[in-house]
Amino acid sequence: ALLALGLLFFLLALYLSHIMSRRAMIPIAHSYTRQREFVADASHELRTPLSVILSSIDTLQMEETLGKDAFIQRVLGNMKGEVKRMTKLAGDLLTLARSDSGTLLLQSEPLDLTVHAQEMLLSLQPLAQAKQIDLQLKAPQTLPIRGDADRLEQLLVLLVDNAIKYTPDGGYVLVALSVETVKAASELKIIVQDTGIGIPPEEHQRIFARFYRRDKSRSRQLGGHGLGLAIAKWIVDAHQGSIQVVSKVGEGSTFTVRIPFERQTNNGQQK
Ligand code: ADP
């Protein structure tokens, strides 16, 4: 009888631990999904009011009497800067929340990366010129690949924007695109090199983490919030590639992205 009672207790304990583990698992997984949905929804919802605020500030800046008041213009200018920062933050959070939940799918379309890099350079040239930075592109005449055009352009913008931000006036930023054949497979190589402040070796991994900024006040002043490289890494990972940094403090940094790819032939088919 004692043995039967022991067995009964053992089975009861097994059943209870089974139920407890199920109970513990379901809400955690569920709340994690809910949390991602919440971040995605919240950042999406923030974008409309932010764009309304931005256009209202524009209207105030152009208003006849207010537009002439230097103090009001300064305050409105500051407000505009902060609203732009929040808009960028909301957009970046939305990108990461969607990538986490797997709802942000990459396109695989034929594109010429040289054309996209040239467009990117044109849009960032004013930023570089404002700091007398020499921004150069070295790329083959055409670079036909398959990939997600918007995301690859976003990757270039993130890396080049950082290179400009963290390089003192009068510096040099080079973007180099090339194709290498490694073990019979083609690989796209994107290099973004700057003559900026550099990153110490112990930080080379950490800078890709979400919200990581080496110097919070400097990054904030420059309009950053520590999500740029996390998004860059997600884009590279989603293309089955890798991203590495080589850097020397006070001399500059070189970010190298490698993405395996299949070349496009002229009739749009893959080789
Ligand atoms: P942030 O918005 O702060 O620029 P990022 O995720 O883009 O965020 O970068 C994370 C941190 O990595 C930055 O705060 C900066 O300290 C460092 N960093 C990124 N790119 C460079 C660069 N080209 N030169 C020096 N430091 C850089």
- What's the confidence (pLDDT) of residue 268? 43
pTM, whole model, 2 decimals? 0.80
**167: Cα separation from own chain's centroid:** 19
The residue whose CB lies within 8 Å of the most ligand 1 atoms, and thus the one to mutate among 219, 220, 245, is 219
Which residue's CA is the closest to the ligand 1 atom numbered 19? 162
Retrieve residue 142's tokens.
């055409």
Q: Put the strands of the sheet holding 172-182 in their side by side order.
A: 134-138, 172-182, 185-194, 252-260, 242-248
- Residue 210 in contact with residue 271, Cβ under 8 Å? no
pLDDT tens digits in sequence order for the chain, 271 residues long: 566 666 666 776 666 566 556 555 545 556 677 777 888 888 888 888 999 999 999 999 888 887 788 899 999 999 999 999 889 888 888 888 888 877 777 888 899 999 999 999 999 999 999 999 999 999 999 999 888 899 999 999 999 999 999 999 999 999 999 998 877 788 999 999 999 999 999 999 999 999 988 877 777 777 778 999 999 999 999 888 999 999 999 999 999 999 987 654 444 444 4
Phi/psi of residue 117, nearest 5 degrees? -65, -40
Which residue's CA is the closest to the ligand 1 atom numbered 25? 198
Q: How many other C-beta atoms can be found within 10 angstroms of the C-beta atom of residue 242?
A: 14
CA-CA distances (angstroms) from residue 105 to 95, 98, 151, 235?
11, 9, 10, 11
Report the atom number in ligand 1 closest to the C-alpha of 220.
3
Report the atom number in ligand 1 closest to the C-alpha of 255.
23
Which residue's CA is the closest to the ligand 1 atom numbered 12? 207
**How far, in Å, from the CA of 151 to the mean position of ligand 1?**
19
Binding pocket residue ranges, ligand 1, CB within 6 Å? 162-163, 166, 194, 196-199, 207, 212-215, 219, 224-230, 253
Report the atom number in ligand 1 closest to the C-alpha of 229.
6
Retrieve residue 224's tokens.
């950053």
